[in-house]
């Protein structure tokens, strides 16, 4: 007991695992006179010129109390009802999903380099691939990439490799963060990126016909789009295919896949998406989990890894890594990307969530989200405070207000709601427009309360 207390006094064991005496013992063991001697290989020009100005040490309890006081300045946003989506959606996550994901053996899941000790991770990858192929209707799926934005950018690079063209048409209603990610990924590829204009919540297909030509590599369109609108993907696909372009369909609100026509039936060649809505918390914006699906003939151009099912030497069911086309696994000149990891823990959450709800559960949940969103929109318009374009949408919609958007957002915030997105933050020309999102976390009473707040202004 006394010896333990003495060691604790010598050092803060939680942060520095060894005492000064132990450090000297290790230096002596490796034959180095001082720690500074280990830094001699670092050029003098980039070394610190003076000691860091770090405050005096404090105890762990003092540190905890200090951080706790800082945290009290924050609001508990978990208790707020969200009216904002814009790429991240709060859905109800059944407790069984959280319980499964919290198993300690899943917390250690990482890249399954050795299949003989990674059967659980590989099986989860395989099962998520199966879920996503059924939801999208596509032939093959790479189930895990950093997020939807990187999946979108990797899909564009994939299209450039397939047809070796240099023109990319991006929907102006693609999530702004996704657009920026595409531009960053493709900056060194010397390609031309053109945004397709929108009108009344959808892409203007007549303008698309004017912009597309034989040098167009791909047409990138989000569905439901950033305004929640449901695009006419079949018409867009026909226009693109007539000009030899690849159609890349982006799905950010992945729950919509349970309700809308399958991506393959709409003519999409590649599907990139974000699966945050399928069992993951908002996590302050991440980590999330992206995916890429495509037609089978493009399988060799898919980045990342794909799991496969086989049998072992004894005839037992087994899982393996069927495709690994990243730099860490093959020669750089043959690699399709430099992706270095997947979000294995998030895959467990997706698998548990979809397995629990099943086909019927996902469909009913998607219908509930859609009906609730349409109910709120109609009630907001009835107040006379809002008006807007009438376009088909899933669970998100844009309305213009006759009042001050700032006042509306402040009133909703004070009433316990995370207010809708101010659209002009991303689209400066669209003043007084608010983007509402509705999920099953909002009851009818919640929606009626929102309407009452708006009506009282």
In this predicted structure, the answer to whether residue 283 has a pLDDT above a threshold of 80 is yes
The DSSP 8-state label assigned to residue 57 in this structure reads P
Q: Are residues 300 and 350 in the same domain?
A: yes
Q: Are residues 139 and 198 in the same domain?
A: yes
Residue 67 lies in a domain: no
* Number of domains the chain is built from: 3
pLDDT at 284: 84
Give me the count of residues in the chain: 457
In this predicted structure, the answer to whether residue 10 has a pLDDT above a threshold of 70 is no
Q: Are residues 346 and 445 in the same domain?
A: no
pLDDT at 6: 37
Q: Are residues 337 and 397 in the same domain?
A: no
Q: Are residues 148 and 288 in the same domain?
A: yes
Q: The domain that contains 364 carries what CATH number? A: 3.90.1150.10
Angstrom distance (rounded) from CA 233 to CA 239? 10
Choice between 17 and 285, residue whose per-residue pLDDT is larger: 285
In this predicted structure, the answer to whether residue 9 has a pLDDT above a threshold of 80 is no
Out of 308, 326, 354, pick the residue that ends a domain: 354
Q: 22: helix, coil or strand? A: helix
Closest listed residue to residue 298, CA positions, set 247, 333, 366, 259: 247
Residue 322 lies in a domain: yes
Residue 71 lies in a domain: no
pLDDT in tens, 310-326: 998 899 999 988 887 66
Q: Is the peptide bond before 292 cis (omega within 30 degrees of 0)?
A: no
pLDDT in tens, 109-137: 566 667 777 888 889 999 999 999 999 99
Domain encompassing residue 406: 77-88+360-455
pTM of the model: 0.82
DSSP string, 271-293: EEEE-TTTT---GGG----EEEE
| Average pLDDT of the segment spanning 327-345 | 70
For the chain, percent of residues with pLDDT exceeding 70: 91
Q: Are residues 342 and 265 in the same domain?
A: yes
- Cβ neighbours around 369 below 10 Å, total: 27
Q: Mean pLDDT in the chain? A: 89
Of 24-33, 75-84, 414-423, the least confident: 75-84
Q: Are residues 367 and 436 in the same domain?
A: yes
Q: Are residues 297 and 418 in the same domain?
A: no
Closest listed residue to residue 225, CA positions, set 198, 206, 247: 198
Q: Are residues 335 and 439 in the same domain?
A: no
Residue 68 lies in a domain: no
CA torsion angle 444 450 454 457 (round to 10):
130
């Amino acid at each position: 007991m006394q010896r333990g207390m003495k060691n604790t006094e010598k050092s803060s064991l939680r942060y520095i695992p060894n005492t000064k005496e132990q450090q000297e013992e290790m230096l002596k063991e490796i034959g180095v006179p001082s720690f500074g001697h280990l830094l001699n290989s670092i050029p003098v020009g980039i070394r610190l010129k003076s000691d860091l100005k770090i405050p005096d040490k404090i105890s762990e309890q003092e540190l905890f109390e200090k951080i706790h006081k800082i945290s009290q300045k924050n609001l508990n946003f978990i208790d707020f009802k969200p009216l904002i989506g814009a790429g991240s959606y709060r859905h109800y996550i059944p407790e069984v999903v959280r319980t499964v994901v919290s198993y300690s053996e899943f917390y250690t899941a990482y890249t399954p380099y050795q299949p003989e000790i990674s059967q659980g991770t590989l099986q989860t990858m395989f099962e998520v691939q199966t879920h996503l192929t059924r939801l999208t209707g596509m032939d093959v799926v790479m189930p895990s990439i950093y997020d939807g934005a990187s999946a979108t950018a990797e899909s564009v690079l994939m299209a450039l490799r397939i047809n070796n063209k240099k023109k990319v048409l991006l929907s102006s209603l693609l999530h702004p963060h996704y657009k920026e990610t595409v531009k960053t990924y493709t900056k060194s590829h010397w390609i031309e990126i053109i945004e397709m204009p929108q009108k009344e919540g959808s892409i203007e297909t007549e303008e698309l016909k004017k912009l597309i030509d034989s040098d167009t590599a791909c047409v990138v369109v989000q569905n439901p789009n950033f305004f929640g609108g449901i695009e006419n993907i079949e018409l867009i696909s026909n226009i693109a295919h007539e000009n030899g372009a690849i159609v890349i369909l982006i799905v950010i609100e992945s729950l919509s896949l349970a309700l809308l026509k399958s991506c393959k039936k709409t003519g999409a060649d590649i599907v990139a998406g974000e699966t945050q809505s399928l069992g993951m918390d908002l996590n302050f914006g991440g980590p999330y989990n992206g995916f890429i699906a495509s037609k089978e003939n493009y399988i060799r151009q898919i980045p990342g890894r794909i799991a496969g099912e086989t049998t072992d030497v004894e005839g037992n069911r087994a899982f393996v890594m069927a495709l690994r086309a990243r730099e860490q696994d093959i020669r750089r000149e043959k690699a399709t990307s430099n992706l270095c990891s997947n979000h294995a823990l998030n895959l467990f959450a997706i698998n548990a969530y979809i397995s629990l709800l099943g086909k019927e559960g996902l469909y009913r949940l998607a219908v509930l989200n859609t009906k609730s969103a349409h109910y709120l929109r109609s009630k907001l318009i009835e107040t006379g405070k809002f008006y807007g374009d009438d376009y088909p949408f899933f669970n998100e919609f844009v309305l213009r207000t006759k009042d001050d958007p700032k006042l509306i957002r402040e009133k909703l915030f004070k009433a316990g709601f995370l207010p809708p997105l101010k659209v002009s933050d991303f689209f400066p020309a669209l003043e007084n427009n608010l983007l509402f999102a509705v999920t099953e976390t909002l009851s009818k009473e919640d929606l009626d309360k929102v309407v009452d707040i708006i009506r009282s202004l």
